[in-house]
Structure 1
Amino acid sequence: MKKGILIFFLIFSISTFAQDVLMQNGTVNQCSGTFFDSGGSAGNYGSNESFVLTICPENAGQLMQLDFTVFSTQLNVDIMTIYDGDDTAAPSLGTFSGANSPGFVSATTGNPTGCITIEFISDGSGTITGWAADISCFTPCQDIVAQLDASTPAQNGNGEILICVGGDVIFEGSATFSVDGTGATYEWDFGNSTIGTGQVATATYSDPGIYIVDLLVTDTNPLGCSNINSISQVVRVSPEIDFTGTQAAQNIICLGESTTIDGVAGIAQFEDCAPEIFEQTWLEDTQSTGLPASYSSTITVDCYGAGQLLTDISQITDICVIIEHSFIGDLDIILVAPNGAQVDFLEYGD
């Protein structure tokens, strides 16, 4: 009975100890546990140490993470350097000593090994408590590109879907995955405050307007990885036309006679992506008054799809502005981004 208990105790002790990694020379493959200085959880590190330890993930494609919860060495003399790779020739992620803790450190996606290498050098003048860091691994996000495969009704020649108020649109989508799409979820944002799920989803549009539809594809990675693009499908819902009031000058006519029919059509108005402006003013001629004067109108365009971001002016294909202006020599047209960056489209004014 004692022998059995002793064997159990030894096995349990080995299993527990295997979760901790002490600073030493060598390489370990581990995605859990705690990384300590050479003194372990209760002791100080030693004098005149010179260790290089590489910690690698357990599975291919993973990246290492270290989260330092405690860190204390002699400032500028007992120094830790962390490298983004499996040896000290890899790019450095930083050098640390004193109370300057590495904090949270992760291998980068450009690191093909996924490993982190730690170099620690101490002098002979004394030692202190050292460090403790939680060990973990993660799988970085794969590239996911969503796409609209088909719709009912289909897109017109301009790539837009046209329907009437109260109409339905059936969307069919998919995605390409750089690694694996098994178990991915599909969520549609129909642009009208409603959503749908699955690769095939139906939206009903009860109000006239212009709607931007997007598809969010998320894989099973715990990081919650989603597609890097936006499909930004435009759906135009035409308003109903009311012909009430349309009538003929004569209600009854005979064969060979004619009449006049006055047509009346009431079309509900809705705001487009770029709303019209109806501001106007009168600027006096500066030559006659001798005083400068200026006037500006602003059109705010904010109906982009989720995740859409302009990073270069060449991504704007065209801008159409209908404007009445008496003298173009006084006119400036400027595009201003939310971050304050601006592009001068037309610059004639003083």
Structure 2
Amino acid sequence: MKQFLLSLLFAGVFGMLTAQDCSVGLVSYCYENDEDYIVTYCPDNPATQVISLTLLTYHIEAGYDELIIYDGSDTSGDILATIDGNGTSGYSYIGTSQDEGGDGCVTLRITSDESVSCDDEDFSSTTWTVECQTICNPPTASISADQTQICATSADNQEDPEMVTFSATGSTQADGTSFEQYDWDFGDGNTLSSSTPVCAHSFSNAGGYIVSLVVTDDLGCSSTVLEEVLIEVAGPPTFGLSSDADEEGVCAGTEVTLAAATDPYTWEEEQIQPDPDPTELPDGTGDSYTSEVEFNQFGTSDVIEDGANMVIMLNMEHSYMGDLDIEVVCPNGTRVEILDFADNEMGNCNVGGAGEYSGGEGAPGDGAEYYFDSDASTDFS
């Protein structure tokens, strides 16, 4: 399907404009004095789509004029953002779907006084893009392999590459949809996009390879949890042979003791890091907020033997460290407290760029990365 981007410039327009076409694309608008400009964008198919409005640049006179983005088809909806000043964004504001009680629409409103207009020097347009997003009920990927421990093609006794057959036939999708694409990453630098659920692959070098899969249905919805399987590939062993025979030789019939030894083959493999959805951290006294991080490349009997082997990274933005208590909870219920708000001395410190919103007011704040490990030089407890 071809997609056309339509660039629009509205000047001196008052009242409400409604765009029912998802091909609106790029919009450039420069407002006039004493203006109340309202435009509403609604999806072509509200049952399966929502509007995504991405603010690119904004030039709104700070303290006097403002840009407000609402969730819904008019200005009575929830406010998604209130913005003034000059800047760049890139943040997307998405309407609430019908399934969640909304109509999928987004309304944008710009109000101004008499002090500036498009005719003023150095006063530029505000720009945004509009597109329809399909409401996804994402499929679930599943991988099976006919073998997970093989010899590398470099092994001495491997005349032909030993193939591993992978199958995604156990993957599931929403009713009324079908699978359109299977994206495989074999962990050795090779990838494959296929329309069929079964493929075969060989591994040239020894090591541990995490093979991952993302499935996509005919609506363009992709699985959100990366499905993985570990393939262990053994290389040729280091082989040594010795005997108690005299170096000059032995007579026929003499008993000779032979000793053979091999060295084990070891390797290190880098674990694929999960990328969970963000978790809001509002100022709610006594409330708790949970973010789940799923690792599926470990076996059921695998154990982390040393805490030094694990580093935890949190990207956070919050206005007051003194009210944060952070725990890590394992699947077996074991809890480790990595930040205790009752004892830490960081109370008035901001976490990340608290109050700084590169996507505009109402967008997620600008977080900073915080690393926790057992040998850390700073103690937050």
Could you say which structure has the higher helix fraction?
A: 1
Structure 2 distance, partners of 1:333, 1:193, is: 29
Runs (5+) with no aligned partner, structure 2: 1-5, 119-123, 154-161, 277-290, 314-369, 376-381
1:63 aligns with 2:51: yes
1:176 aligns with 2:172: yes
Structure 1 distance, partners of 2:105, 2:243, is: 82
Cα deviation digits, residues 130-153 of structure 1 (max 9, x gap): 9554552131573343210x3223
Structure 2 distance, partners of 1:20, 1:245, is: 82
User: Could you tell me how far 1:119 is from its partner in structure 2?
Assistant: 3.3
Aligned position for 2:130: 136
TM, length-normalised to structure 2? 0.53
1:100 aligns with 2:100: no
The 3 A distance-change label for structure 1 pair 126 and 185 is: same
Structure 2 counterpart SS, 1:269 = coil
User: Could you tell me how far 1:236 is from its partner in structure 2?
Assistant: 1.9
Structure 2 counterpart SS, 1:94 = strand
Aligned position for 1:305: 272
Whether the 8 Å contact between 1:96 and 1:102 is mirrored in structure 2 is no
User: Could you tell me how far 1:162 is from its partner in structure 2?
Assistant: 1.9
Structure 2 counterpart SS, 1:145 = coil
1:245 aligns with 2:241: yes
The 3 A distance-change label for structure 1 pair 183 and 235 is: closer
User: Could you tell me how far 1:235 is from its partner in structure 2?
Assistant: 1.6
Residue number among 115, 125, 130 corresponding to 2:105 in the alignment: 115
Aligned position for 1:318: 303
What pairs with 1:262-281 in structure 2 (closer than 5 Å)?
Answer: 262-267=258-263, 269-273=265-269
Structure 2 counterpart SS, 1:215 = strand
AA of the residue aligned to 1:319 = I
Aligned position for 1:202: 200
Structure 1 distance, partners of 2:74, 2:268, is: 58
| Amino-acid identity (%) | 21
Residue number among 58, 64, 68 corresponding to 1:77 in the alignment: 64
Structure 2 distance, partners of 1:227, 1:209, is: 27
User: Could you tell me how far 1:169 is from its partner in structure 2?
Assistant: 1.0
AA of the residue aligned to 2:74 = D
Structure 2 counterpart SS, 1:192 = coil
Whether the 8 Å contact between 2:182 and 2:213 is mirrored in structure 1 is yes
AA of the residue aligned to 1:147 = S
User: Could you tell me how far 1:319 is from its partner in structure 2?
Assistant: 1.7
User: Could you tell me how far 1:36 is from its partner in structure 2?
Assistant: 7.0
The 3 A distance-change label for structure 1 pair 186 and 260 is: same
Whether the 8 Å contact between 1:187 and 1:195 is mirrored in structure 2 is yes
Structure 1 distance, partners of 2:89, 2:78, is: 18
Residue number among 228, 248, 252 corresponding to 1:232 in the alignment: 228
Whether the 8 Å contact between 1:218 and 1:227 is mirrored in structure 2 is yes
Whether the 8 Å contact between 2:173 and 2:179 is mirrored in structure 1 is no
AA of the residue aligned to 2:16 = N
AA of the residue aligned to 2:117 = I
Decide which structure has the larger Cα Rg and report it: 1
Whether the 8 Å contact between 1:243 and 1:263 is mirrored in structure 2 is no
User: Could you tell me how far 1:90 is from its partner in structure 2?
Assistant: 2.8
The 3 A distance-change label for structure 1 pair 192 and 23 is: same
Structure 2 distance, partners of 1:318, 1:136, is: 48
Please tell me the root mean square deviation across aligned C-alpha atoms, in Å: 4.5
User: Could you tell me how far 1:251 is from its partner in structure 2?
Assistant: 9.2
AA of the residue aligned to 1:93 = L
Aligned position for 1:151: 145
Structure 2 distance, partners of 1:313, 1:71, is: 39
Cα deviation digits, residues 56-115 of structure 1 (max 9, x gap): 222331323254667455x53343322122233433233344x43685563326554332
Aligned position for 2:189: 193
Structure 1 counterpart SS, 2:201 = strand
Structure 2 distance, partners of 1:192, 1:119, is: 51
Q: Which moved more, 1:195-204 or 1:243-252?
A: 243-252
1:54 aligns with 2:45: no
Structure 2 distance, partners of 1:18, 1:243, is: 70
AA of the residue aligned to 2:311 = V
Structure 1 counterpart SS, 2:64 = coil
Alignment coverage as a number of residue pairs: 265
User: Could you tell me how far 1:200 is from its partner in structure 2?
Assistant: 1.8
AA of the residue aligned to 1:320 = E
User: Could you tell me how far 1:228 is from its partner in structure 2?
Assistant: 2.2
Aligned position for 2:348: none
The 3 A distance-change label for structure 1 pair 23 and 102 is: farther
Whether the 8 Å contact between 1:23 and 1:53 is mirrored in structure 2 is no
AA of the residue aligned to 1:191 = G
TM, length-normalised to structure 1? 0.57
Whether the 8 Å contact between 1:230 and 1:308 is mirrored in structure 2 is no
Aligned position for 1:278: none
User: Could you tell me how far 1:270 is from its partner in structure 2?
Assistant: 3.2
Whether the 8 Å contact between 2:52 and 2:95 is mirrored in structure 1 is no
The 3 A distance-change label for structure 1 pair 260 and 319 is: farther
User: Could you tell me how far 1:30 is from its partner in structure 2?
Assistant: 3.0
Structure 2 distance, partners of 1:195, 1:29, is: 39
Runs (5+) with no aligned partner, structure 1: 1-16, 154-160, 274-302, 322-331, 345-350
